[in-house]
A and B are shown apart, each in its own frame.
Chain A
Amino acid sequence: MKSAVIVFPGSNREGDVVRALRLAGSDVQKVWHAETELPKGTDLVVLPGGFSYGDYLRCGAIAGRATVMDAVRTHAARGGLVLGICNGFQILCESGLLPGILMRNANLKFICHRQFLRVERNDTAFTKAYAQGQAIDVCVAHGEGNYTADEDTLRRLEGEGLVAFRYSDSHGHVTPDANRNGSMNSIAGIYSTQLNVLGMMPHPENLVEDLVGGTDGRGLFESLVSAKAA
């Protein structure tokens, strides 16, 4: 399994993602945003969290049009795996790889806390290590995570089973209280139509070691590594 973690000016979570991927058994290379190609044999591209280009204009807007994104689009079109976390999710939406947009949190606050997510399906390359409906304990840290899409898009996402995670309580119940940023349908993450691109606001890479208080994020990286091995 070979992963490429894209680094933009203002990315700041690439180190954690590299660590989580290596722990799961992946080879990892960091790739600068001005590159025109991905390293040969790249199986997975990760767009990490942070504040690319200082969130200028709109979160992810400038990074979404960076040179390397053409290579990422080609990789995705070939069926290659792409994971965008937090700012990475915003970049995927701005680049057109995923539909909709992440708006300012409904309460206007930057939220930063532990967060349970319900795993909507466990038959994708990203979630095989989890059970369907399982509540996983990760965390969120964002000011613009309020998932918004037009009615048709939302209906299509729901109808085709493209919602990956929803904000939930510790039992996996999707409640209004658990949806602290105001996302439509409590959406925390979505897949592309082919299920090979995943964008999510929460940070699974934060919780991959007991030392920091939890390991529920590990399953996502282990799923990816075993998906490639399979």
Chain B
Amino acid sequence: MKARVTVTLKNGVLDPQGKAIEGALKSLGVDGIANVRQGKVFDIELETADKGQAEASLRAACEKLLANTVIENYRVEIA
């Protein structure tokens, strides 16, 4: 079973890297960019075929390590 975990900064948390990327896109002449926030994507293969079990493992992974919930949100998608 495959899954994708997306970790993004919470609203209101300053993202200097996103701002720098936004500035770079603007200076490259890419039109229509209003705002950029940078996040992380983890593609994870699971041993189990049970969806509920997979979701529990992925939540534990996010809470224990993948996201720092002081500043980040996470989203789990199971393929």
- Give bound CA distance, A101 to B39, whole Å: 16
A103 on interface, CB distance cutoff 8 Å: yes
Asked if A106 contacts B71 (CB within 8 A), the reply is no
Q: Which of B16, B64, B65, B70 contacts A101 (CB 8 A)?
A: B70
- Give bound CA distance, A61 to B72, whole Å: 13
- Report how many residues on chain A are interfacial, defined by Cβ distance under 8 Å: 18
Give the shortest distance, in Å, between A69 (CB) and chain B (any CB).
12
The main secondary structure of chain B at its interface with chain A is helix
- Give bound CA distance, A106 to B14, whole Å: 9
Asked if A58 contacts B70 (CB within 8 A), the reply is no
Give the shortest distance, in Å, between B70 (CB) and chain A (any CB).
5
Interface centre among A65, A100, A104 (most CB of B within 10 A): A104
A148 on interface, CB distance cutoff 8 Å: yes
Residues on B with C-beta less than 8 A from A100 are: 70
Asked if B70 contacts A150 (CB within 8 A), the reply is yes
The main secondary structure of chain A at its interface with chain B is loop
Contact bitstring A32-71, B, C-beta under 8 A = 1, else 0: 0000000000000000000000000110011001000000
Give the shortest distance, in Å, between B27 (CB) and chain A (any CB).
15
Asked if A108 contacts B17 (CB within 8 A), the reply is yes
Asked if A65 contacts B64 (CB within 8 A), the reply is yes
Inter-chain contact count A-B, CB under 8 Å?
32
Asked if B71 contacts A101 (CB within 8 A), the reply is yes
- Give bound CA distance, A109 to B70, whole Å: 23
- Give bound CA distance, A57 to B64, whole Å: 12
- Give bound CA distance, A26 to B71, whole Å: 38
Residues on B with C-beta less than 8 A from A58 are: 68
Quick one: closest A residue to B9, CB to CB? A103
Residues on A with C-beta less than 8 A from B14 are: 103, 106, 148
A149 on interface, CB distance cutoff 8 Å: yes
Q: Which of A57, A99, A107 contacts B65 (CB 8 A)?
A: A57
Give the shortest distance, in Å, between A21 (CB) and chain B (any CB).
30
Quick one: closest A residue to B12, CB to CB? A150
**A104/B71 contact (C-beta < 8 A), A57-B66, A61-B65 known:** no
Quick one: closest B residue to A60, CB to CB? B68
Residues on A with C-beta less than 8 A from B16 are: 103-108
Asked if B65 contacts A65 (CB within 8 A), the reply is yes
Give the shortest distance, in Å, between A102 (CB) and chain B (any CB).
11
Asked if A61 contacts B68 (CB within 8 A), the reply is yes
Partner-A contacts on B (CB < 8 A): 13-14, 16-17, 20, 64-66, 68, 70-71
| Residue contacts A-B, CB under 8 angstroms, 19 given | A57-B66, A58-B68, A61-B65, A62-B65, A94-B68, A100-B70, A101-B68, A103-B13, A103-B14, A103-B16, A103-B71, A104-B16, A105-B16, A106-B14, A107-B16, A108-B17, A148-B13, A148-B71, A150-B70
Listed from nearest, the 6 A-B pairs whose CB atoms lie closest are A104-B16, A101-B70, A108-B16, A108-B20, A101-B71, A106-B16
